[in-house]
Amino acid sequence: MGLRTISTDSSRATIILIVLAVATAGGLWYDSPFGTTAGALIADVRNVQVNTHAAGVATQNYYGELLQDEEGELSPITLLDAAPLRLRDGRKKQGIQESGAIRYVDNCLLWELLPGARVIFKGAPLEINQWGQRDRSDYTKKKPRRTFRIALVGGSNTMGTGVLEEETFGNLIEERLNGELAGQRYDRYEVINFSVAGYHLLERVYLVQTKVGDFEPDLILVSSTDRDLTIQHTRLARRVYKDGPIHFQFLRKIVRESGCDARRDALKRLERKIQPFQEEILLGTLRELTRYARQTDTTVAVFLLRREGGKNLGKDLVRTRELLETGDLPIFPVFEAYADVGPMELWLHPAADPNKADPHPNVEAHRRIAEDLYEQLLAHPTIGRMIRGR
């Protein structure tokens, strides 16, 4: 089936009515976890092969629409088509959704890394272990004796987009810990990378709440950037627009207080209504992370990454730091790593045209981040003693 793109509300309504009519004629009504619209997109129930394809692609397109805020806008609706997704200027979209390394899930995460996947993503091998992590396969869920285990939770920067696994700052920190401290209080140090490209702070906190604890970490390090202040409201608007899952109660309260009406409001209007709550979204997410730390008696800290080099931090990054520091969790601003370089010098692909640039950290950036974060962790009065075992 060829690509069908609908760009107006009237065309959207027409297609939906046609699909509903076909579903009704075939005796089909599907109570889908994604909502009745996505469920009704599945074709004739009597043809299992067609149904499987239609359901899979409809789900892909559903989440594709819900989450495309990182790398550009797609046309509003794409139905039942397995062709590569493209941006409006014709460029092929190269996000994690198109990598072949994820699977979609019906919860706050929306997707997760696919165990056993092996692909090339952003020019570098991306291999996923049996636990769904971009990390080695010899980690066990049960922590070995005399092992200090750190869980690293972030997005694409922390996952190591575009660099080799051994070049990521998480791996470099693990190597340094084992080279300098192993054999004293602990025989071994492990830094397990739970990070997934496309996750903002909301998804990272949900991941901490639902998965990370199974691996018995002694310390959880959660990354943040200024985009956790400036972008998260757009993702919440998309969830409202597409009737997607909203896990946290404080977010549901924000949706109510903002006056959002998914039945009448266009996506951009929803974004405008939620935008005044940007800071409350960040603070609410931080409160959820703090609550988890207290309830589980787990040491949790947040480290703040920057994207551009130079002395100027930018008002959004400064404000993000200020908000994070209002909470009770240790905050590590990893800023010095970028202080003495040009704005794009540590980018994966610097370019004058922002549409062609890739601001993910390059190999040198990961080395610098590892050095800065390592030294801050060891210098912290509580966390430093924990890591040394004193």
Q: What is the CATH number of domain 105-231+265-270+272-388?
A: 3.40.50.1110
CATH 3.40.50.1110 positions along the chain are: 105-231+265-270+272-388
Structure confidence at residue 32 (pLDDT): 31
Please give the average pLDDT of every successive group of 10 residues along the chain, which has 390 residues: 38 43 36 33 33 41 46 28 38 78 91 96 96 96 97 98 97 98 97 97 97 98 96 94 90 96 94 97 98 98 95 94 97 95 93 85 97 98 95
Structure confidence at residue 106 (pLDDT): 84
Structure confidence at residue 386 (pLDDT): 97
What's the pTM?
0.79
**Do the beta carbons of residue 229 and residue 279 sit within 8 Å?**
yes
Structure confidence at residue 131 (pLDDT): 97
